[in-house]
Amino acid sequence: MKHHFITIEGNIGVGKTTLANLLARQLNARLILEEFADNPFLPKFYENPAQYAFPLELFFMAERYKQLKEMVHTKELFQTVTVSDYLFTKCLLFAKVNLPEEEFRLYQKLFDIIHQQLVFPDILIYLHAPVSKLQQNIKKRNREFEQSIPDEYLFNIQETYTHYIKQHNIKTLFIDASNADFQGNEAHIKVILDALENDYEDGQHYFTLP
């Protein structure tokens, strides 16, 4: 395996965790999953974004930092590959969408201090799906606090992600996940596994699923 730290990203409901679990199993990799359910501010944020956005994002940043910092200091003897279902920069991208300008500037200062202490992934797998598909997936997984997420919010998240990836020229496997069924269609997961066998230059490398 040419890539030892693989990160999966994408919008809410696109299938990051499902793919991360499958890849970790296939690659015998250590798995790092976002512990979003432990954030007590998440249901409150969806009810009242203006009041709870800042504590929500601070809590997420602290938890993600703790997880990824532990990864840096822990070496697994029999697992040389790590798969994560989030990029630490996700903190900054969501904060940019959710916070007013003054709070975002403060948040960014904290982020910049913390971010440089972490290891950046070797490659990013970005799953892209239209908002209509995301809404279908969100309804299907049936988390109560997610059921009223507006399309506009998902569009904003999508735009923020794609702008960041292109602006920073990150080494990215950009996957069209419009029809993704990683659990039910072996050909879909094979596209990802085959792609990971190759080395890539920085920038976006586009793939579609059969």
Active site residue ranges: 85
Distance CA(39)–CA(60), nearest Å, equals 7
Tokens of 84: 């994560």
User: 124 phi and psi, to 5 degrees?
Assistant: -110, 130
Distance CA(134)–CA(154), nearest Å, equals 8
208 sits in which H/E element: strand 204-208
At 129 the three-state DSSP class reads: coil
What are the distances in angstroms from CA 116 to CA 132, 159, 179?
Answer: 36, 25, 36
